[in-house]
Amino acid sequence: MSYLTLGALVVVAFFVLSAVLRRGERVSMPGDRSAYSAEAASVESLIRAGRKIEAIKRLREETGLGLKEAKEEVERRQRQL
């Protein structure tokens, strides 16, 4: 593989990663549950406090889910409590 090809791949990888990070999506390693645990505890505490809209907003911020998916997930968690 030539240096030119390798350089082009590095530049493309950089732009893809920066675009993902700008959209607010999190990049985590597979099996990294620490971020999920903090998010789950935060959303659960908002649900328990009766702050459903804030829980949906927090879940969307933390996971990048759409409005409908986040609402359904918060309602699912609410039923489990």
pLDDT tens per residue across all 81 residues of the chain: 688 887 888 888 877 777 666 665 454 444 444 555 677 788 999 999 999 999 999 989 888 889 999 999 999 999 998
Q: Whole domain around residue 69: which residue ranges? A: 3-80
User: 25 — phi, psi (to 5°)?
Assistant: -80, 145
DSSP for the chain, please give it: --HHHHHHHHHHHHHHHHHHHHTT-----TT--HHHHHHHHHHHHHHHTT-HHHHHHHHHHHH---HHHHHHHHHHHHHH-
pLDDT for res 33: 47
Q: How many domains does the chain have?
A: 1
The reported pLDDT for the residue numbered 52 is 95
Which residue, 70, 78, 5, is CA-closest to 44? 78
